Amino acid sequence: MQRLLFTPLTALLGSPCLRLLVPRVAPRTQCGCSCGIRRPLRPGQYSTISDVALQPGRGTVSLPSKAAERVVGRWLLVCSGTVAGAVILGGVTRLTESGLSMVDWHLIKEMKPPTSKEEWEAEFQKYQQFPEFKILNHDMTLAEFKFIWYMEYSHRMWGRLVGLAYILPAAYFWKKGWLTRGLKGRVLALCGLVCFQGLLGWYMVKSGLEEKPDSHDIPRVSQYRLAAHLGSALVLYCASLWTSLSLLLPQHKLTETRQLLRLRRFAHGTAGLVFLTALSGAFVAGLDAGLVYNSFPKMGESWIPEDLFTFSPLLRNVFENPTMVQFDHRVLGIASVTAVTVLYFLSRRIPLPRRTKIAATTLLALAYTQVGLGISTLLMYVPTPLAATHQSGSLALLSVALWLMNELRRVPK
């Protein structure tokens, strides 16, 4: 009877699958006696699945550990910070009218800036062949050219840094097996978007280098391509930040009620409105629409200016009429701060965790700060430091909106 009972049990306890789940016991000391003294585990001995998963070359466990998820989350958080830096630097480049100073694009060759006087003069001569110099900067000196050249050069080099920050660690984590199947697809999409962003940036610059004999306007890049360039950068930033927050922040187990569902949906809509407002800023920058009506709350002497529908067909006014573009940006900004205010008061009516309440309060404070920055930028005729701060504020507002959405996300069953 004892043999019938204990033989299967002994085989089960000795199976390799179960030994992975049970803490390993150190072998007895070889002292020649029967004492039960046990030694501590030596380096290289692991007692849990997570320990095995973190060891290179051990392929017995395919799922990455929580520690690996934290590392990936921190990496994506750093990546989103580099994208934010690229957006801010790109905004300053646009505000200083430096984006058309480099008239060609080479992935490797242009990484080395001019060093001698002859090289700088050759670069300046290339710039003099294009419309911006002929129409706008025909009296520019070499020293002034160096300033705008270095602004564009810094933006391009920062873009290369962003690409390396994504691609190199992604390849390392992939090889280590620290990415789940879902994360692999997302990381591939992020790396692809980084490469697309670089190509889109040059496609945008080319639009400002083209000769337009029938136009007497100031040479500038296409506002459509500028919006596409900014929009893809914002998508890259939001996707990276959302993924990092999902990996780093522990998820709240909120009681699913009708009020919570309404709050969650309203938070999603508010974040979308903030994104759309930031994107509309690209059309304002591309058309210099911030210099059209420098008054608030009225536009000139009226609430609705007369030249709002100057172009034909009417749809062109939304994207090509500076007056309409500024008007739309004002309306979207007011709608965004109104939505954030309503979202805050809705959040006060529901018992939420402390971290979620902090996110809602921070979003409210940033929204009103951003409105103040926007009005000040407009009234002071768009000074570069203030305008750059306003552009940075839109990124901060979008970040906190994503944080609040992440706090309210549904716990998977």
Q: Are residues 151 and 268 in the same domain?
A: no
What is the per-residue pLDDT for 212? 79
Q: Are residues 349 and 373 in the same domain?
A: yes
DSSP string, 287-311: TTGGGT---SSSBTTBSS-GGGG-S
Alpha helices in 99-180 (DSSP H): 117-127, 131, 142-176
What is the per-residue pLDDT for 110? 81
Report pLDDT digits (tens) over 342-367. Answer: 999 999 999 999 999 999 999 999 99
Q: Are residues 169 and 98 in the same domain?
A: yes
Q: Which domain holds residue 132?
A: 65-248
Report pLDDT digits (tens) over 69-124. Answer: 999 999 999 999 999 999 999 999 999 999 999 999 888 888 899 999 999 999 99
Q: Are residues 144 and 227 in the same domain?
A: yes
Report pLDDT digits (tens) over 312-338. Answer: 999 999 999 999 999 999 999 999 999
Burial of 1-11, coded b for 16+ CB within 10 Å and e otherwise, reads: eeeeeeeeeee
Residue 332's nearest CA partner among 270, 392, 377 is 270
CA angle (131, 154, 195) in 5-degree steps:
90
Q: Are residues 347 and 368 in the same domain?
A: yes
Q: Please state, rounded to an integer, the average pLDDT across all residues of the chain.
A: 86
Q: Is the pLDDT of residue 51 over 80?
A: no
Global pTM? Answer: 0.83
Q: Are residues 128 and 110 in the same domain?
A: yes
Domain finish residue from 215, 248, 281: 248
Q: What is the mean pLDDT of residues 53-69?
A: 56
Which two structure tokens, joined as six digits, stand for 221? 């890049």
The number of domains in the chain is: 2
Residue 223's pLDDT band (cuts 50, 70, 90):
very high
Residue % of the chain over a pLDDT of 90: 75
Residue of higher predicted confidence among 336 and 41: 336
Say how far apart CA 297 and CA 303 lie, in whole Å.
Answer: 8
Identify whether 313 is preceded by a cis peptide bond (ω within 30 of 0). yes
What is the per-residue pLDDT for 11? 41
What is the per-residue pLDDT for 58? 45
Residue 280's nearest CA partner among 324, 352, 227, 238 is 227
Domain finish residue from 231, 248, 265: 248
In a domain, 53, yes or no: no
Q: Are residues 244 and 274 in the same domain?
A: no
Domain finish residue from 248, 280, 299: 248
Q: Are residues 234 and 258 in the same domain?
A: no
Alpha-carbon torsion angle 109, 115, 117, 123, nearest 10: 30
Alpha-carbon torsion angle 88, 89, 93, 99, nearest 10: -110
| Phi, psi values for residue 400, rounded to 5° | -70, -35
Report pLDDT digits (tens) over 13-33. Answer: 344 443 333 334 344 444 444
